[in-house]
Structure 1
Amino acid sequence: MSKVHMEGLERIVKKRGGIQNIKGIHAQIATWCDFCYSNIWNLQPRFSRLYAIPPENSVREPDLTAAKSLALGSIADISPEMACILRSLHYVSSSSVNATGCPSDLQKTSIQIYNIEYDLLMLNETQHSRKIQKLSNEAAALKVAAHLYLYLLLRKLPSGSPVFSELITRLRNALDKCDEVSEDSQYYRLIWRLWILIIGYAAAAEREDKWKFVEGSQAICKALHITRGAQLNSSLRATVWLEPTCERWAKSLWADCLRARRGA
């Protein structure tokens, strides 16, 4: 969506008294346009948050225990906010496995997904200034991978969707700037780097970019002494991991790692 169109939409919403006064499908369209524009241009959302966060839901509260629960402390400059976002992704992913399919459950999940994406976008730059605290390259890669995970598994967008192009490029650029890791690196730092790579691989499944993620994954697997596809899948269960979809990604990635090795 172009800047002119987005500014036009913003004027319409303001004339209606704000996004809270837009109802039904029109609110969904407006917020999706806002999210897409913010994502492409790496900006914060223009519209305020649609849904209040229940007091009992503490996933957005800066809580350092979130980093510990998913072993995120090994990632450079991981913020409490990013740790909470990943915990939210983990919670919603786990909940979706046992979802009943009733309207109230679906509505609750939809609101949770919306709030997670809103939180992710709030880590971007503002409209008029640079972000207050620049993310490390590793934390930036983790943020993009989390967004790709949300699109692939929770919003269930097809990997061939145009919305992935900018995110995949952004992820590759962040990974290219990351420090190299080796078998001497912290175990969970290697695991989360592998998670970032496999999410990029899944998002780029229909693009040539996928081989860059295969190459990076091979190096991490070597450092972790992973020699079998099942071992790859079990190692990643310590992250935000939803089976059977993620298990299929692991099998596909391992097959491509073997294919690349034979072709070397």
Structure 2
Amino acid sequence: MAYLTAFVDAPRPISHMAQEFTFRDMTYFNDQRASIEYRILTMAGDEDKRQGMGKAQNVQGPCRLAALIYINMVFRELQPRAAIHTTLTSYLRAELMQMNLVSCSGNLGAVLLWILFVGGAVAVEEPIRSWFVSTLTLVCSQLELRSWHDTKGSLRRYLWSERIWEQRCKKLWFDVLDEQRDQLPY
């Protein structure tokens, strides 16, 4: 998916030859995207359970859902209000609520951060949006993330398209900061 993201984000020339080349590229791109989606959708849902991982570490399902959101945002450029995003963020929230998010730290915490930002960036309906902000507030606090720069650095370790995610995730970060300020005792 990182290769396809780079393909989508790369600037394209407009010449007649470039259009023909782009058509072939787009065919290859569409085949690869479909292959990735197929693999995501057909993964065994309980792989983590077979490997003996507990609920606190069972991130395969949330990762799959976040990857589908990512594909729809970056490769199809669907808007956050698209019905598929409402459905996927609802499922993502339900799966994450099954986890013990307090015990997620280290690499697991960083993956969880990416999952929450991807889901939260397209969650526009309440109460789902508020849940993502509240959960991100907790996770960012646990990971001791104090700035957008540090948070973005962590997110970029995973799948990232500057064009698609920068503004959406930055807005989400400011919502997290607002919630942190609201939680401070006066």
TM-score range relative to shorter protein: 0.7 to 0.9
SS of corresponding position for 1:156:
coil
Q: Alignment partner for residue 147 of structure 1, among 68, 93, 96?
A: 68
Q: Does 1:97 align with 2:15?
A: no
Q: Write the distance in 1 (CA, Å) between the matches of 2:136 and 2:155.
A: 12
> What is the CA–CA distance in structure 1 between the aligned matches of 2:157 and 2:84, rounded to whole Å?
28
TM-score by length of 1: 0.58
Q: Aligned-pair distance for 1:114?
A: 1.3
Rounded Cα–Cα distance in structure 2 between residues aligned with 1:91 and 1:244: 15
Deviation, structure 1 residue 138: 1.6
Q: Which runs of 5+ in 2 are unaligned?
A: 13-18, 50-57
| Aligned 8 A contact 2:137 2:177 in 1 | no
Aligned residue runs from structure 1 range 189-228, under 5 A: 189-204=108-123, 206-208=124-126, 209-228=128-147
Which of 221, 227, 230 aligns to 2:149? It is 230
Distance (whole Å) between structure 2 residues aligned to residue 237 and residue 249 of structure 1? 14
CA shift, 1:140, in A, is: 0.7
State the distance in 2 between where 1:174 and 1:99 align. 37
Alignment length (residue pairs): 166
In 1, Cα distance between equivalents of 2:174 and 2:101: 24
- Percentage of matched positions with identical amino acids: 27
Instruction: Quote the offset at 1:93 in angstroms.
Output: 0.9
Q: C-alpha offsets along residues 8-60 of structure 1, whole Å, 9 cap, x if unaligned?
A: xxxxxxxxxxxxxxxxxxxxxxxxxxxxxxxxxxxxxxxxxxxxxxxxxxxxx
Quick one: distance in 2 between partners of 1:180 and 1:254? Answer: 18
Cα RMSD of the aligned pairs, angstroms, is 2.0
Contact 1:140–1:174 (CA under 8 A) maintained in structure 2: yes
Query: What is the distance in 2 between the residues matched to 1:246 and 1:179?
Result: 27
Letter of the structure 2 residue corresponding to residue 190 of structure 1: G
Q: Which residue of 1 aligns with 2:37?
A: 117
Aligned equivalent of 2:92: 171
Poorly superposed stretches of 4+, deviation over 6 Å = none
How far has the Cα of 1:213 moved from its partner? 1.0
1:128 aligns with none
Contact 1:144–1:167 (8 Å) recurs in 2: yes
**What one-letter code is carried by the residue in structure 2 that aligns with 1:252?**
K
Residue aligned with 1:244, SS: helix
Where structure 1 has 5 or more consecutive residues not aligned to the other structure, the ranges are 1-88, 125-130
Q: Determine helix, strand or coil for the equivalent of 1:155.
A: coil
SS state of the match for residue 238, structure 1? coil
Which amino acid in the other structure matches residue 26 of structure 2? L
Q: 1:159: how far off?
A: 1.1
Q: Does the 8 Å contact 1:182/1:223 carry over to 2?
A: no
Who is 2:162 aligned against? 243
Q: Distance in 2 between matches of 1:189 and 1:261?
A: 22
CA distance in 2, matches of 1:223, 1:254: 15
